[in-house]
C-alpha cells in the first residue's frame, strides 16, 4: 500500500528547541577536522538547521516520493518502487548502507526509470522509514528479506546494486539466490577480511590488505563502537541532534570525494534532509546495531565466491578501493571500471555518472 513518510509538527518543534539549546564542547586551537568534527564548521550548520532549513519543503519532497509500505517477514518496510514504461524493463534493487538510507538513491531513481529500469529502493529494517527489527539483522538476513520483497512486488528475476553495507546485501543476494539475481553491481569490493592469508595474494592485493588495516587503525573507531557498544553511543545521538549531526557529517566529509570541502558536493539542505529523517525516526541506534550483527557472520561466509556475473564501478574517493585482482578472486568479474571522480556515496555525489555505469553494465542482461 502507498503511504507517505510523515514528520509531525511536534517533532520539528522539539528538534528546533534542542538545536537552539546545544551545549557545545571546546576545541583546541587549530584542530580543524584532525580530532573528528570541526566544531566551528558544525555550528553554522546546526544554526541553519534550527532557523533556516525549510521543514515544510522537505515534507513536501517526502510526499512526492513513490513510497510504499510492505510487510516482509513481519517487519514494516518502506520502499520506493517505480516501474518503467517499456516491455524489456529490467528490475533492479538498490541497496544502501550506513550512515544513509534510501536517501542515497533518490537522485538516480527517476533517471534509472527513464533509462528503462523498474527500480526498487528499500530502507533496511531500522533505517530510514522502515521499522526496527525485534532482533538485530545482519546483511545476509536482509538479503533474504529483499528476495521475499522482490517476489511480493512481482519481480522474480532482477539485478541488484549496492554500496557499503549494501555491497554485502547485494553479495548475499547473489550468493543465496543465484537463480533469481541476473547480475550484481557494486561500487566497492568491501574490505579485506581480518586474518586473511596474504601469502597467496598478488602485490596489489597485499597492498589492499595493508591499506585496509591502516584505515581500520586510523578511521575505524566508529565501526568498533558500532560493533561492540552501539547502545552507549545511541543514548547521546538519539538525545542530541547536534551530536547526531557531528557523527554523520564527519563521515559524509571523510568518505565523499570532496577534497575536504563537504559543500562542494552537497547542499546544506541535502545533508539536513538525511539528518532530519534520522532524527525524526530515531533510527541512529538501530542502524548502528547492524554492525554488531554483521561482525558475527561466520568467516566462511565472507570467503564465498560470487558466481553471478558481477560488475564493479570503483570511485576514487571511496574508503579503500579494491584492486581488480581482488575482485576477480572473489567474484565472477565481467565488468570493471575505475572512475575519475566520486566517493563512497557515488549515487548521490555523482548521479549521472552512477546511472551511466549501472546502465552500461546491465544493458546486456535485459531479456
pLDDT for 244-300, tens place per residue? 999 999 999 999 999 999 999 999 999 999 999 999 999 999 999 999 999 999 989
Helix axes of 230-239 and 241-255: crossing angle, nearest 10 degrees: 110
| pLDDT, position 193 | 81
Question: What residues contact residue 103 under an 8 Å CB cut-off, 6+ apart?
Answer: 96, 128, 273, 274, 277, 348
Give the pLDDT band (50/70/90) at residue 195. confident
Average pLDDT, rounded, for the chain:
96
Give the pLDDT band (50/70/90) at residue 2. low
Closest to 165 (Cα-Cα) out of 206, 217, 134, 128? 128
Paired with 118 in beta bridges are 91
3 pLDDT higher than 90: no
At 74, phi and psi to the nearest 5?
85, 0
Per the CB < 8 A criterion, the answer to whether 143 and 117 are in contact is no
Which whole number is the average pLDDT over 133-142? 97
113 pLDDT higher than 50: yes
Q: What is the dihedral of CA 204, 207, 213, 216, to 10 degrees?
A: -70
CA distance 294 to 142: 11
4 pLDDT higher than 80: no
| pLDDT, position 10 | 98
CATH placement of domain 9-23+31-365? 3.40.50.1820
| pLDDT, position 229 | 97
- Read off the pLDDT of residues 200-232 as tens digits, 9 standing for 90 and up: 899 999 999 999 999 999 999 999 999 999 999
The percentage of the chain sitting over the pLDDT mark of 70, rounded to a whole number, equals: 99
- Read off the pLDDT of residues 294-332 as tens digits, 9 standing for 90 and up: 999 998 999 999 999 999 999 999 999 999 999 999 999
Q: Which three cell numbers stand for residue 85?
A: 514504461
270's torsion region: left (phi>0), alpha (psi -120 to 50) or beta?
Answer: alpha
Give the pLDDT band (50/70/90) at residue 194. confident
- Alpha helices (H) in 21-164, listed in sequence order: 39-51, 55-63, 108-114, 139-152
Element (DSSP H or E) covering residue 207: helix 203-219
| pLDDT, position 1 | 47
Amino acid at each position: 500500500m502507498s503511504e507517505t513518510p510523515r514528520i509531525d509538527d511536534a517533532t520539528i518543534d522539539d528538534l528546533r528547541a534542542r538545536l537552539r539549546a546545544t551545549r557545545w564542547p571546546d576545541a583546541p586551537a587549530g584542530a580543524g577536522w584532525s580530532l573528528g568534527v570541526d566544531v566551528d564548521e558544525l555550528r553554522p550548520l546546526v544554526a541553519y538547521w534550527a532557523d533556516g532549513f525549510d521543514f515544510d519543503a522537505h515534507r513536501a519532497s517526502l510526499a512526492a516520493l513513490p513510497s510504499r509500505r510492505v510487510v516482509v517477514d513481519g517487519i514494516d518496510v518502506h520502499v520506493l518502487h517505480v516501474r518503467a514504461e517499456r516491455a524489456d524493463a529490467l528490475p533492479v534493487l538498490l541497496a544502501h548502507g550506513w550512515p544513509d538510507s534510501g536517501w542515497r538513491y533518490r537522485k538516480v531513481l527517476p533517471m534509472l526509470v527513464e533509462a528503462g529500469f523498474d527500480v526498487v529502493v528499500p530502507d533496511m529494517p531500522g533505517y530510514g522509514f522502515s521499522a526496527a527489527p525485534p532482533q538485530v539483522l545482519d546483511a545476509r538476513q536482509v538479503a533474504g528479506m529483499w528476495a521475499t520483497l522482490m517476489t511480493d512486488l512481482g519481480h522474480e528475476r532482477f539485478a541488484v546494486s549496492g554500496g557499503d553495507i549494501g555491497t554485502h546485501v547485494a553479495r548475499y543476494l547473489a550468493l543465496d539466490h543465484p537463480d533469481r539475481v541476473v547480475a550484481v553491481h557494486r561500487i566497492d569490493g568491501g574490505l579485506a577480511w581480518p586474518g586473511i592469508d596474504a601469502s597467496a595474494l598478488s602485490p596489489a592485493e597485499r597492498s589492499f590488505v595493508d591499506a585496509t588495516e591502516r584505515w581500520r587503525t586510523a578511521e575505524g573507531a566508529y565501526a568498533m563502537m558500532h560493533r561492540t557498544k552501539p547502545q552507549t553511543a545511541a543514548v547521546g545521538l538519539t538525545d542530541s541532534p547536534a551530536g547526531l549531526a557531528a557523527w554523520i557529517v564527519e563521515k559524509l566529509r571523510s568518505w565523499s570525494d570532496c577534497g575536504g570541502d563537504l559543500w562542494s558536493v552537497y547542499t546544506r539542505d541535502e545533508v539536513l534532509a538525511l539528518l532530519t529523517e534520522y532524527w525524526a525516526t530515531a533510527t541512529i541506534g538501530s542502524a548502528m546495531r547492524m554492525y554488531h550483527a554483521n561482525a558475527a557472520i561466520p568467516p566462511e561466509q565472507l570467503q564465498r565466491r560470487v558466481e553471478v556475473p558481477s560488475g564493479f564501478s570503483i570511485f576514487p574517493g571511496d574508503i579503500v578501493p579494491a584492486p581488480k585482482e581482488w575482485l576477480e578472486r572473489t567474484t565472477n568479474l565481467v565488468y570493471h571500471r575505475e572512475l575519475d571522480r566520486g566517493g563512497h556515496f557515488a549515487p548521490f555525489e555523482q548521479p549521472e555518472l552512477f546511472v551511466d555505469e549501472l546502465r552500461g553494465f546491465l544493458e546486456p542482461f535485459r531479456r
